[in-house]
Structure 1
Amino acid sequence: MKKQNDEPRKRFLALDTSTAILGIAVTENGRLLHETNASGERNHSVHLLPIIEQALQATGTTPAMIGGIAVGLGPGSYTGTRIAVTAAKTLAWAWKVPVAGISTLQALAWGGLAAALKQQVEPSSAGEPAEQEPAGTGPDWIIPLLDARRGQAYTALFAADGEHAPRRLEPDAIRLMADWVLDLTDRLKQAEAEGRKPRAIWFVGETLLLGSGESAGPLREAGNVHVVPYELEGRWAGYLGEERLQAGSDDLHSLIPNYTQLSEAEANLRRNGEGSLNQ
């Protein structure tokens, strides 16, 4: 008779396909065991499951050792996000483990700031000095950016103070970049008036959305602004996912991507439907 394995399930699998990077991580007790970051957004559906299998083999991890699966819900690529969510739900059901959704933008913010601090990158491509005096005494602000086309970005606002996951200040949403910079400038002025001005402001991710940097002019005048190009790494989805799973899980059947907007096909279908009702 086989002896049952009563060892606690301590390992966690995290996956995110919301961006051009397919990120996979296996973590245990806040420690990264394995990470894969593969580029090629159009091939995520082809490579996701083989890469997951490789990650499990590389760490000697069996399904019986997995305590939960975390998945990036986006926002980001409409099709890409669905790929990871579908895979996570399928594996969670097959392995009988909990599943939890995490914000791709929060993982991007955490990883972007960590990469910037580690590499001591220059604050922008505009020829500014590598070192700037802190603008204030409050926690750093992190603004992750993913291109949503037509002058828009998938973005949010987080505060970071220490090595923990960034704390959310504004929700994930699709925003016009020009309006978003003005909103951030107004918020910065308010924070300064209240004595909470951030030490530094970090734009991370697909920072080409800022163009030549002139669009961030109002913020540059008021704060210590850093612009850091960065691609999501699986480890940050892993760290964030492990924290999320230890705090609780989502309902397997109701977990859906965070699209923040309708796909073009859905929008056209809805418009056509409304038109037919009005005829």
Structure 2
Amino acid sequence: MPYLAIDTATATLTVALGEKGKLLGEATTQLSRNHSVKMMPLLEGLMANLDLSPDDLKGIIVGRGPGSYTGVRIAVTAAKAFAMALNIPLVGVSSLDGLARHGELTDALVVPMFDARRKQAYTAFYEQQNGSFIKIVEDQLLVLDDLIKAINSRMVVRRLDKRKVAVLLLGDGAQVHRAELIERLGEKAQFAAAASHDFVRAAHLLDVGIPLLEAGEGQDAATFAPEYLQLVEAEKKWLEQQAGGNSQ
């Protein structure tokens, strides 16, 4: 029985079906809007092509964010509904994992970046250790200056460990800030060799999520929540207004 993975945290809408160690099918679009309209037809088409029905699903893996506030909610809401309606387990994994695994075979530091505007990026750090591709810094929201400082600090550690002093920068955040990253990181900075390596893949979420589900680490669908990492603009303004009112 296959597992389903969904992610809508960025401009990429991606769905995949697979088993442990085996991708059955994947469908991805690069639309910057209308994920809520396009997701179900994309998924239904993929399942029809594979002669599968919802009742065949064994579990759901969803990109929990970070990313677009509205985008993240689309996949999470759908995944929760599927899990509860079909009575199957659900697990959320970082959407950054779905981007970072494009670099899982490199010996460089891998830094996926989702553009968060205002010279900020959602990011995490990954690298090869003892033959495994692992996350060494958890998801966070950083301004570009702090991100570059964190990368340079990691380069010092890699140099001391006699490891390759290079960083693979992936995603729309890397492309938006490419000129400054090259200017400030110099020859250490590497970028995706192809545009197809600069977006989230649901197939990669399967790789991360299936072992979690098979280890019994599913989450309660009713209480599962996305990972935003920052307040939405309306919440920020409301809190600022409240703080201003309290200070008078």
Which amino acid in the other structure matches residue 266 of structure 1? E
Tell me the secondary structure at the aligned position of residue 98 of structure 2.
Answer: helix
Q: 1:32 to 1:67 in 2, by over 3 A?
A: same
Name the residue aligned to 2:32.
41
Does residue 1:93 correspond to 2:60, yes or no?
no
TM-score, normalised to structure 1, is 0.79
Cα distance in 2 for partners of 1:200, 1:183 equals 13
1:187 to 149, 154, 168: 154
Q: Which residue of 1 aligns with 2:67?
A: 76
CA-CA distance at 1:278 after TM superposition: 4.4
Match of 2:230 in 1: 261
Q: Which runs of 5+ in 1 are unaligned?
A: 1-9, 118-138
Deviation at 1:162, TM superposition (A): 8.6
Match of 2:99 in 1: 108
Structure 2 SS opposite 1:40: coil
Q: How many residues were matched structurally?
A: 242
Partner residue, 2:201 = 233
Counterpart mapping for 1:161-172 below 5 A: 166-172=133-139
What does residue 122 of structure 1 align with? none
3-state SS of paired residue (1:191) = helix
**Corresponding residue SS for 1:20:** coil
What CA deviation, in whole Å up to 9, does each residue of 1:152-207 have, x standing for no partner?
Answer: 1111100135985x3111111111112211221122113322x2533642111122
Looking at structure 2, the residues matched to 80 and 260 of structure 1 have their Cα atoms a distance apart, in angstroms, of 14
Give how far 1:41 is off: 2.8
| CA distance in 2: counterparts of 1:34 and 1:215, whole angstroms | 35
User: 2:162 and 2:36 mapped to 1: Cα distance?
Assistant: 44
The equivalent of 1:50 in structure 2 is 41
1:201 to 161, 167, 170: 167
Contact 1:151/1:209 (CA < 8 Å) preserved in 2?
A: no
Assess if the C-alpha contact under 8 Å between 1:153 and 1:176 holds in 2.
yes
CA drift of 1:68 comes to 0.5
On the 8 A contact 1:71/1:88 being kept in 2, the answer is yes
TM-score under structure 2 normalisation? 0.89
Inter-partner Cα distance in structure 1 for 2:207 and 2:130: 15
- SS of the equivalent of 2:168 reads strand
